[in-house]
Structure 1
Amino acid sequence: MAIRNFTDKDVPDQSGRVFFVTGANSGLGYHTAKLLAGRGARVLLGCRSEEKAELAMADIRAVYPEADMRFIPLDLGNLKSIRDAAKLVGQEPRLDVLVNNAGIMMPPREETADGFETQFGVNHLGTFALTGLLLDKLAEGEAPRVVITSSMAHRSGRIDFDDINAEDSYSRWGRYAMSKLANLLHMYELDRRLRAADSPIIAVACHPGVADTELTKNFPGLVVSLLRPVSGLFMNSAAQGAWPTLAAAVGDGVEAGQYFGPSRNGEWIGPAREVQPRPKAKRIEPAKRLWAVSEEMTGVKYPV
Protein backbone atom coordinates (compact mmCIF):
# COMPACT_ATOMS: atom_id res chain seq x y z
CA MET A 1 0.00 0.00 0.00
CA ALA A 2 1.46 3.32 -1.07
CA ILE A 3 2.23 5.81 1.66
CA ARG A 4 0.23 9.03 1.35
CA ASN A 5 -0.36 11.82 3.85
CA PHE A 6 1.80 10.15 6.51
CA THR A 7 2.07 12.02 9.83
CA ASP A 8 3.07 11.20 13.38
CA LYS A 9 -0.39 9.71 13.91
CA ASP A 10 0.49 6.95 11.44
CA VAL A 11 3.50 5.67 13.40
CA PRO A 12 2.55 2.15 14.56
CA ASP A 13 3.54 0.47 17.79
CA GLN A 14 7.30 -0.22 17.84
CA SER A 15 7.57 -2.32 21.00
CA GLY A 16 10.57 -4.64 20.92
CA ARG A 17 12.32 -2.81 18.08
CA VAL A 18 15.63 -0.92 18.31
CA PHE A 19 16.46 2.25 16.39
CA PHE A 20 19.70 4.20 16.15
CA VAL A 21 18.97 7.85 15.32
CA THR A 22 21.91 10.16 14.58
CA GLY A 23 21.70 13.83 15.50
CA ALA A 24 18.91 12.96 17.91
CA ASN A 25 19.23 15.78 20.45
CA SER A 26 17.55 18.47 18.34
CA GLY A 27 15.45 19.17 15.27
CA LEU A 28 14.24 16.33 13.09
CA GLY A 29 16.31 13.75 14.95
CA TYR A 30 14.86 14.74 18.31
CA HIS A 31 11.28 14.50 17.09
CA THR A 32 12.00 11.20 15.35
CA ALA A 33 13.51 9.76 18.53
CA LYS A 34 10.65 11.12 20.64
CA LEU A 35 7.93 9.55 18.49
CA LEU A 36 9.71 6.22 18.27
CA ALA A 37 10.31 6.09 22.03
CA GLY A 38 6.69 7.06 22.61
CA ARG A 39 5.60 4.11 20.48
CA GLY A 40 7.59 1.68 22.61
CA ALA A 41 10.90 1.38 20.72
CA ARG A 42 14.32 1.32 22.30
CA VAL A 43 16.04 4.37 20.84
CA LEU A 44 19.78 4.93 20.70
CA LEU A 45 20.55 8.62 20.40
CA GLY A 46 23.74 9.33 18.46
CA CYS A 47 24.93 12.79 19.54
CA ARG A 48 28.18 14.72 19.88
CA SER A 49 27.25 16.23 23.25
CA GLU A 50 26.32 14.03 26.20
CA GLU A 51 24.85 17.06 27.97
CA LYS A 52 22.53 17.85 25.07
CA ALA A 53 21.60 14.19 24.70
CA GLU A 54 20.71 13.95 28.39
CA LEU A 55 18.58 17.08 28.15
CA ALA A 56 16.79 15.68 25.10
CA MET A 57 16.14 12.37 26.85
CA ALA A 58 14.84 14.20 29.93
CA ASP A 59 12.42 16.16 27.73
CA ILE A 60 11.23 12.95 26.09
CA ARG A 61 10.78 11.20 29.44
CA ALA A 62 8.72 14.14 30.68
CA VAL A 63 6.16 13.12 28.05
CA TYR A 64 6.88 9.38 27.94
CA PRO A 65 8.13 8.34 31.42
CA GLU A 66 8.76 4.75 30.34
CA ALA A 67 10.84 5.70 27.29
CA ASP A 68 13.76 3.30 26.72
CA MET A 69 16.75 5.31 25.47
CA ARG A 70 20.54 5.28 25.44
CA PHE A 71 23.11 7.93 24.56
CA ILE A 72 25.71 6.88 21.99
CA PRO A 73 28.64 9.33 21.63
CA LEU A 74 28.91 10.10 17.92
CA ASP A 75 30.74 12.73 15.91
CA LEU A 76 30.23 12.13 12.20
CA GLY A 77 33.21 14.37 11.52
CA ASN A 78 35.57 11.92 13.18
CA LEU A 79 36.13 8.40 11.86
CA LYS A 80 37.40 7.14 15.22
CA SER A 81 34.23 8.37 16.89
CA ILE A 82 32.16 6.65 14.21
CA ARG A 83 33.98 3.36 14.74
CA ASP A 84 33.61 3.65 18.52
CA ALA A 85 29.88 4.36 18.17
CA ALA A 86 29.44 1.37 15.86
CA LYS A 87 31.13 -0.85 18.45
CA LEU A 88 28.76 0.38 21.18
CA VAL A 89 25.72 -0.22 18.99
CA GLY A 90 27.15 -3.61 18.10
CA GLN A 91 26.93 -4.56 21.77
CA GLU A 92 23.16 -4.07 21.75
CA PRO A 93 21.09 -7.26 21.60
CA ARG A 94 19.71 -6.11 18.27
CA LEU A 95 19.39 -3.23 15.80
CA ASP A 96 16.43 -2.97 13.46
CA VAL A 97 16.64 0.49 11.90
CA LEU A 98 19.47 2.97 11.36
CA VAL A 99 18.19 6.51 10.85
CA ASN A 100 20.97 8.61 9.34
CA ASN A 101 19.62 12.02 10.22
CA ALA A 102 22.56 14.10 11.45
CA GLY A 103 24.02 16.71 9.15
CA ILE A 104 25.30 20.26 8.82
CA MET A 105 24.30 23.02 6.43
CA MET A 106 26.25 25.87 4.87
CA PRO A 107 29.05 26.51 7.39
CA PRO A 108 32.21 28.37 6.44
CA ARG A 109 34.81 26.06 4.94
CA GLU A 110 36.22 23.83 7.65
CA GLU A 111 37.73 20.36 7.82
CA THR A 112 36.79 17.29 9.82
CA ALA A 113 39.19 15.57 12.19
CA ASP A 114 40.30 13.45 9.23
CA GLY A 115 40.89 16.37 6.88
CA PHE A 116 37.67 16.21 4.84
CA GLU A 117 35.66 19.29 3.88
CA THR A 118 33.03 19.31 6.61
CA GLN A 119 29.77 19.21 4.66
CA PHE A 120 30.87 16.32 2.44
CA GLY A 121 32.72 14.76 5.37
CA VAL A 122 29.84 14.86 7.85
CA ASN A 123 26.79 14.61 5.62
CA HIS A 124 28.07 11.91 3.28
CA LEU A 125 31.33 10.30 4.39
CA GLY A 126 30.29 10.03 8.04
CA THR A 127 26.95 8.54 7.04
CA PHE A 128 28.66 6.20 4.57
CA ALA A 129 31.12 4.94 7.20
CA LEU A 130 28.56 4.46 9.96
CA THR A 131 26.17 2.58 7.69
CA GLY A 132 28.89 0.27 6.42
CA LEU A 133 30.07 -0.53 9.92
CA LEU A 134 26.54 -1.39 11.11
CA LEU A 135 25.31 -3.34 8.10
CA ASP A 136 26.11 -6.77 9.54
CA LYS A 137 24.37 -5.87 12.80
CA LEU A 138 21.31 -4.65 10.92
CA ALA A 139 21.16 -7.85 8.89
CA GLU A 140 20.34 -9.68 12.13
CA GLY A 141 17.39 -7.38 12.89
CA GLU A 142 13.70 -7.74 12.16
CA ALA A 143 12.62 -6.14 8.86
CA PRO A 144 15.79 -4.03 8.98
CA ARG A 145 16.05 -0.66 7.26
CA VAL A 146 18.67 1.99 6.56
CA VAL A 147 17.27 5.50 6.24
CA ILE A 148 19.43 8.17 4.62
CA THR A 149 18.41 11.83 4.80
CA SER A 150 18.84 13.95 1.70
CA SER A 151 17.39 17.33 0.72
CA MET A 152 15.75 19.15 -2.14
CA ALA A 153 19.16 20.77 -2.46
CA HIS A 154 20.34 17.62 -4.28
CA ARG A 155 18.59 19.04 -7.35
CA SER A 156 21.36 21.58 -7.87
CA GLY A 157 24.14 19.29 -6.64
CA ARG A 158 27.16 18.12 -8.59
CA ILE A 159 29.85 15.75 -7.35
CA ASP A 160 33.17 17.51 -7.94
CA PHE A 161 35.43 14.47 -8.14
CA ASP A 162 38.37 16.68 -9.19
CA ASP A 163 38.13 18.80 -6.03
CA ILE A 164 36.37 16.49 -3.59
CA ASN A 165 37.60 18.36 -0.50
CA ALA A 166 36.96 21.87 -1.86
CA GLU A 167 40.63 22.77 -1.69
CA ASP A 168 40.50 24.82 -4.90
CA SER A 169 37.14 26.51 -4.40
CA TYR A 170 34.37 26.50 -1.81
CA SER A 171 30.72 27.46 -2.01
CA ARG A 172 28.61 26.95 1.10
CA TRP A 173 25.48 26.12 -0.90
CA GLY A 174 27.32 24.25 -3.64
CA ARG A 175 29.02 21.89 -1.22
CA TYR A 176 25.82 21.37 0.76
CA ALA A 177 23.98 20.45 -2.45
CA MET A 178 26.86 18.15 -3.42
CA SER A 179 26.65 16.33 -0.07
CA LYS A 180 22.89 15.87 -0.41
CA LEU A 181 23.23 14.48 -3.94
CA ALA A 182 25.89 12.15 -2.53
CA ASN A 183 23.38 10.92 0.06
CA LEU A 184 21.00 9.82 -2.68
CA LEU A 185 23.70 8.29 -4.87
CA HIS A 186 24.78 6.36 -1.76
CA MET A 187 21.26 5.14 -1.01
CA TYR A 188 20.53 3.95 -4.54
CA GLU A 189 23.87 2.17 -4.89
CA LEU A 190 23.38 0.58 -1.45
CA ASP A 191 19.92 -0.51 -2.55
CA ARG A 192 21.34 -2.14 -5.69
CA ARG A 193 24.00 -3.95 -3.66
CA LEU A 194 21.59 -5.15 -0.98
CA ARG A 195 19.21 -6.54 -3.59
CA ALA A 196 22.04 -8.27 -5.44
CA ALA A 197 23.15 -9.86 -2.16
CA ASP A 198 19.57 -10.92 -1.34
CA SER A 199 19.94 -9.04 1.95
CA PRO A 200 16.98 -8.63 4.32
CA ILE A 201 17.94 -4.96 4.74
CA ILE A 202 16.18 -2.33 2.68
CA ALA A 203 17.70 1.09 1.97
CA VAL A 204 15.41 4.11 1.69
CA ALA A 205 15.82 7.88 1.75
CA CYS A 206 13.87 10.93 2.85
CA HIS A 207 13.99 14.70 2.87
CA PRO A 208 12.20 17.06 5.27
CA GLY A 209 11.19 19.72 2.78
CA VAL A 210 11.76 23.10 4.36
CA ALA A 211 11.80 22.68 8.12
CA ASP A 212 12.50 25.10 10.95
CA THR A 213 15.53 23.44 12.54
CA GLU A 214 18.99 24.33 13.83
CA LEU A 215 20.35 23.71 10.33
CA THR A 216 19.24 27.23 9.45
CA LYS A 217 21.66 28.72 12.00
CA ASN A 218 24.09 29.61 9.21
CA PHE A 219 21.45 31.57 7.28
CA PRO A 220 21.88 35.36 7.43
CA GLY A 221 20.17 36.75 10.52
CA LEU A 222 18.14 39.30 8.56
CA VAL A 223 16.71 36.57 6.34
CA VAL A 224 15.64 34.50 9.34
CA SER A 225 14.07 37.50 11.12
CA LEU A 226 12.09 38.50 8.04
CA LEU A 227 10.82 35.01 7.29
CA ARG A 228 10.00 33.84 10.81
CA PRO A 229 6.59 35.60 11.13
CA VAL A 230 5.26 33.93 7.97
CA SER A 231 7.25 30.71 8.16
CA GLY A 232 4.16 28.57 8.66
CA LEU A 233 3.11 29.30 5.08
CA PHE A 234 6.14 27.63 3.54
CA MET A 235 8.03 25.88 6.32
CA ASN A 236 7.32 22.76 8.36
CA SER A 237 7.92 22.80 12.08
CA ALA A 238 10.72 20.50 13.15
CA ALA A 239 8.10 17.97 14.29
CA GLN A 240 6.37 18.09 10.90
CA GLY A 241 9.72 17.91 9.12
CA ALA A 242 10.28 14.54 10.80
CA TRP A 243 7.24 12.98 9.12
CA PRO A 244 9.14 11.81 5.99
CA THR A 245 11.86 10.33 8.22
CA LEU A 246 9.27 8.44 10.23
CA ALA A 247 7.52 7.26 7.07
CA ALA A 248 10.80 5.90 5.74
CA ALA A 249 11.72 4.30 9.06
CA VAL A 250 8.44 2.67 10.08
CA GLY A 251 5.82 3.13 7.37
CA ASP A 252 3.86 0.00 6.48
CA GLY A 253 4.53 -1.20 2.97
CA VAL A 254 7.75 0.75 2.43
CA GLU A 255 9.75 -0.79 -0.39
CA ALA A 256 13.49 -0.83 -1.01
CA GLY A 257 14.81 2.21 -2.84
CA GLN A 258 11.90 4.52 -2.07
CA TYR A 259 12.33 8.22 -1.31
CA PHE A 260 9.96 10.17 0.93
CA GLY A 261 9.26 13.88 1.30
CA PRO A 262 6.46 16.35 2.03
CA SER A 263 3.36 16.22 -0.16
CA ARG A 264 2.49 19.89 -0.60
CA ASN A 265 3.80 23.09 -2.17
CA GLY A 266 6.39 21.39 -4.35
CA GLU A 267 7.58 19.12 -1.51
CA TRP A 268 8.18 22.04 0.83
CA ILE A 269 5.60 21.23 3.51
CA GLY A 270 2.90 18.81 4.55
CA PRO A 271 2.40 15.13 5.33
CA ALA A 272 4.85 12.63 3.85
CA ARG A 273 4.52 10.59 0.67
CA GLU A 274 6.81 8.93 -1.83
CA VAL A 275 8.56 11.48 -4.04
CA GLN A 276 11.04 11.31 -6.90
CA PRO A 277 14.55 12.76 -7.01
CA ARG A 278 16.25 14.25 -10.04
CA PRO A 279 17.32 11.52 -12.51
CA LYS A 280 21.00 12.22 -11.79
CA ALA A 281 20.52 10.81 -8.28
CA LYS A 282 19.86 7.37 -9.79
CA ARG A 283 22.76 7.29 -12.24
CA ILE A 284 24.81 4.18 -11.78
CA GLU A 285 28.30 5.20 -12.93
CA PRO A 286 28.65 8.30 -10.69
CA ALA A 287 27.27 6.24 -7.79
CA LYS A 288 29.86 3.51 -8.30
CA ARG A 289 32.63 6.09 -8.57
CA LEU A 290 31.44 7.85 -5.42
CA TRP A 291 31.27 4.50 -3.62
CA ALA A 292 34.87 3.69 -4.51
CA VAL A 293 36.05 7.16 -3.46
CA SER A 294 34.11 6.91 -0.19
CA GLU A 295 35.58 3.51 0.68
CA GLU A 296 39.05 4.84 0.00
CA MET A 297 38.57 8.02 2.04
CA THR A 298 36.91 6.35 5.04
CA GLY A 299 38.66 2.98 4.98
CA VAL A 300 35.26 1.33 5.46
CA LYS A 301 34.53 -1.65 3.21
CA TYR A 302 30.93 -2.80 2.99
CA PRO A 303 30.03 -6.49 3.31
CA VAL A 304 27.88 -6.19 0.16
Structure 2
Amino acid sequence: MWTPDDIPDLTGTTAVVTGAGGGIGLPTALHLAGHGARVIVATRDRARGEAATSAIRLRVADARIEWRRLDLADLSSVRAFASAFDGPLDILVNNAGVGMIPRRTTADGFEMQFGTNHLGHFALTGLLLPHLLARPSARVVTVSSDAHGLGRIDFGDLGLERRYGRFSAYGRSKLANLLFTLELQRRAEGRLLSVATHPGATATGIMKLGVLTRPVNALMRLALQPPLKGAIPSLYAATSTEVTGGQFIGPGPKTLTPSPKALEEDVARRLWETSEELTGVRFKTITRHS
Protein backbone atom coordinates (compact mmCIF):
# COMPACT_ATOMS: atom_id res chain seq x y z
CA MET A 1 0.00 0.00 0.00
CA TRP A 2 1.25 3.47 -0.91
CA THR A 3 2.24 5.70 2.02
CA PRO A 4 3.88 9.14 2.31
CA ASP A 5 7.21 7.31 2.72
CA ASP A 6 6.92 6.51 -1.00
CA ILE A 7 7.06 10.19 -1.99
CA PRO A 8 10.15 10.73 -4.16
CA ASP A 9 12.82 13.33 -3.52
CA LEU A 10 11.24 16.72 -4.24
CA THR A 11 14.38 18.81 -3.86
CA GLY A 12 14.30 21.71 -6.30
CA THR A 13 10.51 21.81 -6.57
CA THR A 14 8.03 24.37 -5.27
CA ALA A 15 4.54 23.63 -3.99
CA VAL A 16 1.61 25.81 -2.94
CA VAL A 17 -0.95 24.27 -0.59
CA THR A 18 -4.08 26.30 0.08
CA GLY A 19 -5.71 25.92 3.46
CA ALA A 20 -2.59 24.36 4.95
CA GLY A 21 -3.17 25.88 8.36
CA GLY A 22 -5.03 22.76 9.48
CA GLY A 23 -7.17 19.86 8.31
CA ILE A 24 -5.66 17.73 5.55
CA GLY A 25 -3.73 20.72 4.23
CA LEU A 26 -1.29 20.67 7.13
CA PRO A 27 -0.08 17.06 6.69
CA THR A 28 -0.03 17.64 2.93
CA ALA A 29 2.36 20.56 3.38
CA LEU A 30 4.33 18.67 6.04
CA HIS A 31 5.09 15.66 3.86
CA LEU A 32 5.88 17.71 0.76
CA ALA A 33 8.35 19.74 2.83
CA GLY A 34 9.68 16.58 4.45
CA HIS A 35 10.68 15.28 1.04
CA GLY A 36 12.54 18.40 0.00
CA ALA A 37 9.99 20.68 -1.64
CA ARG A 38 9.84 24.38 -0.99
CA VAL A 39 6.30 24.77 0.34
CA ILE A 40 4.14 27.86 0.56
CA VAL A 41 1.41 27.60 3.18
CA ALA A 42 -1.43 29.74 1.82
CA THR A 43 -4.06 30.66 4.39
CA ARG A 44 -6.39 33.52 5.17
CA ASP A 45 -5.50 33.61 8.86
CA ARG A 46 -1.93 34.65 9.66
CA ALA A 47 -1.86 33.08 13.13
CA ARG A 48 -2.94 29.66 11.84
CA GLY A 49 -0.58 29.85 8.89
CA GLU A 50 2.44 30.77 10.97
CA ALA A 51 1.55 28.16 13.59
CA ALA A 52 1.47 25.57 10.80
CA THR A 53 4.86 26.60 9.44
CA SER A 54 6.32 26.48 12.96
CA ALA A 55 4.88 23.00 13.54
CA ILE A 56 6.35 21.78 10.27
CA ARG A 57 9.79 23.20 11.13
CA LEU A 58 9.68 21.27 14.40
CA ARG A 59 9.19 18.06 12.40
CA VAL A 60 11.45 18.93 9.45
CA ALA A 61 14.55 20.78 10.64
CA ASP A 62 15.65 21.94 7.20
CA ALA A 63 12.15 22.66 5.86
CA ARG A 64 11.93 25.32 3.18
CA ILE A 65 8.53 26.60 4.15
CA GLU A 66 6.82 29.96 4.37
CA TRP A 67 3.40 31.47 4.99
CA ARG A 68 1.63 33.80 2.59
CA ARG A 69 -1.82 35.27 2.97
CA LEU A 70 -4.55 34.02 0.65
CA ASP A 71 -8.28 34.56 1.10
CA LEU A 72 -10.06 32.56 -1.58
CA ALA A 73 -13.32 34.36 -0.76
CA ASP A 74 -11.81 37.64 -1.95
CA LEU A 75 -10.55 37.86 -5.54
CA SER A 76 -8.40 40.87 -4.70
CA SER A 77 -6.52 38.66 -2.23
CA VAL A 78 -6.16 35.93 -4.86
CA ARG A 79 -4.73 38.46 -7.31
CA ALA A 80 -2.35 39.87 -4.71
CA PHE A 81 -1.07 36.39 -3.85
CA ALA A 82 -0.51 35.52 -7.50
CA SER A 83 1.15 38.81 -8.39
CA ALA A 84 3.63 38.38 -5.54
CA PHE A 85 4.45 34.79 -6.49
CA ASP A 86 8.04 34.32 -7.57
CA GLY A 87 9.57 31.63 -9.73
CA PRO A 88 8.22 28.45 -11.31
CA LEU A 89 5.62 26.28 -9.61
CA ASP A 90 5.65 22.48 -9.69
CA ILE A 91 2.68 21.53 -7.50
CA LEU A 92 -0.49 23.46 -6.75
CA VAL A 93 -2.79 21.78 -4.23
CA ASN A 94 -6.22 23.44 -4.28
CA ASN A 95 -7.14 22.17 -0.85
CA ALA A 96 -8.86 24.94 1.13
CA GLY A 97 -12.60 24.94 1.48
CA VAL A 98 -15.68 25.74 3.49
CA GLY A 99 -18.57 23.39 3.93
CA MET A 100 -22.17 23.03 5.05
CA ILE A 101 -22.52 26.65 6.18
CA PRO A 102 -25.57 28.94 6.27
CA ARG A 103 -25.92 31.02 3.13
CA ARG A 104 -23.64 34.02 2.91
CA THR A 105 -21.55 35.64 0.21
CA THR A 106 -17.91 36.29 -0.59
CA ALA A 107 -16.32 39.73 -0.83
CA ASP A 108 -17.27 39.71 -4.51
CA GLY A 109 -20.89 38.72 -3.92
CA PHE A 110 -20.71 35.01 -4.82
CA GLU A 111 -22.41 32.30 -2.78
CA MET A 112 -19.70 31.43 -0.25
CA GLN A 113 -19.21 27.70 -0.85
CA PHE A 114 -19.18 28.02 -4.64
CA GLY A 115 -17.15 31.23 -4.49
CA THR A 116 -14.48 29.86 -2.15
CA ASN A 117 -14.23 26.23 -3.11
CA HIS A 118 -14.52 26.69 -6.87
CA LEU A 119 -14.22 30.27 -8.09
CA GLY A 120 -11.35 31.18 -5.75
CA HIS A 121 -9.33 28.15 -6.83
CA PHE A 122 -10.28 28.65 -10.49
CA ALA A 123 -8.90 32.18 -10.36
CA LEU A 124 -5.81 31.14 -8.42
CA THR A 125 -4.98 28.37 -10.90
CA GLY A 126 -5.45 30.68 -13.86
CA LEU A 127 -3.27 33.41 -12.39
CA LEU A 128 -0.53 30.94 -11.47
CA LEU A 129 -0.75 29.07 -14.77
CA PRO A 130 2.33 30.72 -16.37
CA HIS A 131 4.40 29.56 -13.37
CA LEU A 132 3.03 26.03 -13.71
CA LEU A 133 3.62 25.84 -17.45
CA ALA A 134 7.23 26.92 -16.88
CA ARG A 135 7.84 23.47 -15.38
CA PRO A 136 7.86 20.26 -17.47
CA SER A 137 5.89 18.10 -15.04
CA ALA A 138 3.66 20.49 -13.12
CA ARG A 139 0.56 19.23 -11.35
CA VAL A 140 -2.68 20.81 -10.18
CA VAL A 141 -4.40 18.77 -7.48
CA THR A 142 -7.93 19.89 -6.60
CA VAL A 143 -9.66 18.44 -3.56
CA SER A 144 -13.22 17.46 -4.42
CA SER A 145 -15.42 14.97 -2.58
CA ASP A 146 -17.78 12.09 -3.19
CA ALA A 147 -20.41 14.65 -2.17
CA HIS A 148 -20.11 16.00 -5.73
CA GLY A 149 -22.78 13.47 -6.67
CA LEU A 150 -25.29 15.51 -4.65
CA GLY A 151 -24.55 18.68 -6.58
CA ARG A 152 -26.22 20.31 -9.56
CA ILE A 153 -25.01 23.31 -11.56
CA ASP A 154 -27.98 25.62 -12.15
CA PHE A 155 -26.61 28.39 -14.34
CA GLY A 156 -29.81 30.33 -13.82
CA ASP A 157 -29.26 30.52 -10.06
CA LEU A 158 -25.53 30.35 -9.34
CA GLY A 159 -26.08 32.53 -6.29
CA LEU A 160 -28.61 30.02 -4.92
CA GLU A 161 -30.91 32.90 -4.09
CA ARG A 162 -34.09 30.99 -4.89
CA ARG A 163 -33.27 27.83 -2.98
CA TYR A 164 -30.35 27.24 -0.64
CA GLY A 165 -29.40 24.09 1.20
CA ARG A 166 -26.08 23.98 3.00
CA PHE A 167 -25.40 20.37 2.01
CA SER A 168 -26.56 20.65 -1.59
CA ALA A 169 -24.54 23.88 -1.94
CA TYR A 170 -21.46 22.04 -0.70
CA GLY A 171 -22.10 19.21 -3.17
CA ARG A 172 -22.44 21.75 -5.96
CA SER A 173 -19.08 23.32 -5.10
CA LYS A 174 -17.42 19.90 -5.09
CA LEU A 175 -19.03 19.03 -8.42
CA ALA A 176 -17.62 22.29 -9.79
CA ASN A 177 -14.18 21.26 -8.49
CA LEU A 178 -14.37 18.00 -10.40
CA LEU A 179 -15.74 19.57 -13.59
CA PHE A 180 -12.90 22.11 -13.42
CA THR A 181 -10.28 19.42 -12.90
CA LEU A 182 -11.35 17.43 -15.92
CA GLU A 183 -11.78 20.48 -18.14
CA LEU A 184 -8.34 21.78 -17.15
CA GLN A 185 -6.87 18.43 -18.17
CA ARG A 186 -8.62 18.57 -21.54
CA ARG A 187 -7.35 22.09 -22.18
CA ALA A 188 -3.80 21.57 -20.91
CA GLU A 189 -3.26 17.98 -22.09
CA GLY A 190 0.47 17.32 -22.38
CA ARG A 191 1.45 20.51 -20.57
CA LEU A 192 0.51 19.64 -16.98
CA LEU A 193 -1.43 17.05 -14.99
CA SER A 194 -4.77 18.00 -13.47
CA VAL A 195 -6.01 15.54 -10.85
CA ALA A 196 -8.93 15.55 -8.39
CA THR A 197 -9.07 13.84 -5.02
CA HIS A 198 -11.60 12.69 -2.47
CA PRO A 199 -10.06 12.54 1.02
CA GLY A 200 -12.72 10.31 2.56
CA ALA A 201 -14.58 10.98 5.79
CA THR A 202 -12.02 13.02 7.70
CA ALA A 203 -12.11 15.02 10.92
CA THR A 204 -11.09 18.40 9.49
CA GLY A 205 -13.34 20.91 11.23
CA ILE A 206 -14.67 22.10 7.88
CA MET A 207 -18.29 22.30 9.08
CA LYS A 208 -19.31 25.55 10.75
CA LEU A 209 -22.55 24.99 12.66
CA GLY A 210 -22.72 27.96 15.00
CA VAL A 211 -22.89 26.95 18.67
CA LEU A 212 -22.79 23.30 17.62
CA THR A 213 -19.46 23.60 15.81
CA ARG A 214 -17.22 22.69 18.74
CA PRO A 215 -19.15 19.64 20.05
CA VAL A 216 -19.82 18.32 16.53
CA ASN A 217 -16.16 18.61 15.58
CA ALA A 218 -15.18 16.86 18.82
CA LEU A 219 -17.44 13.94 17.91
CA MET A 220 -16.04 13.90 14.38
CA ARG A 221 -12.50 13.55 15.73
CA LEU A 222 -13.61 10.41 17.53
CA ALA A 223 -15.59 8.89 14.66
CA LEU A 224 -13.68 9.86 11.51
CA GLN A 225 -10.21 9.25 10.14
CA PRO A 226 -7.41 11.64 11.15
CA PRO A 227 -6.23 14.38 8.76
CA LEU A 228 -3.08 12.48 7.75
CA LYS A 229 -5.14 9.67 6.23
CA GLY A 230 -7.33 12.23 4.50
CA ALA A 231 -4.20 13.82 3.03
CA ILE A 232 -2.92 10.62 1.43
CA PRO A 233 -4.97 10.96 -1.80
CA SER A 234 -3.64 14.52 -2.25
CA LEU A 235 -0.05 13.49 -1.58
CA TYR A 236 -0.34 10.57 -3.96
CA ALA A 237 -1.91 12.74 -6.66
CA ALA A 238 0.79 15.38 -6.21
CA THR A 239 3.82 13.08 -6.32
CA SER A 240 3.24 9.53 -7.56
CA THR A 241 4.66 8.55 -10.92
CA GLU A 242 1.63 6.28 -11.38
CA VAL A 243 -0.79 9.20 -11.62
CA THR A 244 -2.23 10.31 -14.94
CA GLY A 245 -4.12 13.48 -15.76
CA GLY A 246 -7.87 13.48 -15.23
CA GLN A 247 -7.87 10.85 -12.50
CA PHE A 248 -10.09 11.06 -9.42
CA ILE A 249 -8.08 9.65 -6.52
CA GLY A 250 -9.71 8.48 -3.31
CA PRO A 251 -8.72 6.73 -0.09
CA GLY A 252 -6.39 3.78 -0.46
CA PRO A 253 -5.20 5.52 -2.54
CA LYS A 254 -7.19 4.22 -5.48
CA THR A 255 -8.84 5.59 -8.60
CA LEU A 256 -12.53 6.43 -8.24
CA THR A 257 -15.21 6.76 -10.91
CA PRO A 258 -16.78 10.22 -10.91
CA SER A 259 -20.52 10.72 -11.04
CA PRO A 260 -21.87 11.02 -14.60
CA LYS A 261 -22.60 14.67 -13.75
CA ALA A 262 -18.86 15.34 -13.60
CA LEU A 263 -18.32 13.87 -17.07
CA GLU A 264 -20.69 16.21 -18.93
CA GLU A 265 -18.29 18.12 -21.16
CA ASP A 266 -20.86 20.69 -22.28
CA VAL A 267 -21.53 21.59 -18.64
CA ALA A 268 -17.79 21.74 -17.93
CA ARG A 269 -17.21 24.03 -20.88
CA ARG A 270 -20.04 26.34 -19.84
CA LEU A 271 -18.87 26.37 -16.22
CA TRP A 272 -15.35 27.27 -17.37
CA GLU A 273 -16.58 30.14 -19.53
CA THR A 274 -18.91 31.36 -16.78
CA SER A 275 -16.10 31.18 -14.22
CA GLU A 276 -13.88 33.26 -16.50
CA GLU A 277 -16.60 35.89 -16.76
CA LEU A 278 -17.31 35.95 -13.02
CA THR A 279 -13.68 36.12 -11.91
CA GLY A 280 -12.20 38.07 -14.81
CA VAL A 281 -9.43 35.46 -15.02
CA ARG A 282 -8.80 33.88 -18.41
CA PHE A 283 -6.44 30.99 -19.08
CA LYS A 284 -4.87 32.67 -22.09
CA THR A 285 -2.07 30.18 -22.69
CA ILE A 286 -4.26 27.09 -23.06
CA THR A 287 -7.21 26.50 -25.32
CA ARG A 288 -9.90 23.87 -25.35
CA HIS A 289 -9.40 20.93 -27.66
CA SER A 290 -12.55 20.03 -29.58
* Separation in structure 2 between the aligned mates of residue 109 and residue 23 of structure 1, nearest angstrom: 21
- Which amino acid letter does the alignment assign opposite residue 51 of structure 2? L
8 Å CA contact 2:203–2:217 kept in 1: the answer is no
1:255 to 244, 254, 275: 244
Q: Aligned residue for 2:14?
A: 18
**1:138: Cα distance to partner?**
0.3
* Separation in structure 2 between the aligned mates of residue 31 and residue 225 of structure 1, nearest angstrom: 19
CA RMSD, 1 decimal = 1.5
Q: Which has the higher contact order (CA 8 A, sep 6+)?
A: 1
Identify if the C-alpha distance between structure 1 residues 228 and 55 changes in structure 2 by more than 3 Å, giving closer, same or farther: closer
8 Å CA contact 2:199–2:233 kept in 1: the answer is yes
2:35 to 35, 39, 49: 39
* Separation in structure 1 between the aligned mates of residue 276 and residue 208 of structure 2, nearest angstrom: 31
8 Å CA contact 1:17–1:96 kept in 2: the answer is yes
2:54 to 55, 58, 61: 58
Q: Aligned residue for 2:272?
A: 291
Q: Aligned residue for 2:99?
A: 105
**1:186: Cα distance to partner?**
0.6
* Separation in structure 2 between the aligned mates of residue 35 and residue 225 of structure 1, nearest angstrom: 25
CA deviation vs aligned residue, 1:229-253 (integer Å, no higher than 9, x gap): 4x1xxx3210110000001100112
1:207 to 171, 186, 198: 198
Q: Aligned residue for 1:244?
A: 233
Structure 2 segments unaligned to the other structure (5+ residues): none
8 Å CA contact 2:205–2:217 kept in 1: the answer is no
8 Å CA contact 2:151–2:175 kept in 1: the answer is yes
8 Å CA contact 1:72–1:88 kept in 2: the answer is no
**1:226: Cα distance to partner?**
5.4
8 Å CA contact 1:147–1:204 kept in 2: the answer is yes
**1:68: Cα distance to partner?**
0.3
**Identical aligned pairs, as a percentage?**
46
* Separation in structure 2 between the aligned mates of residue 253 and residue 86 of structure 1, nearest angstrom: 30
2:183 to 178, 183, 189: 189
SS in 2 for 1:45: strand
Taking structure 1 as the reference length, the TM-score comes to 0.89
Q: Aligned residue for 1:273?
A: 254
Q: Aligned residue for 1:266?
A: none
**1:216: Cα distance to partner?**
3.3
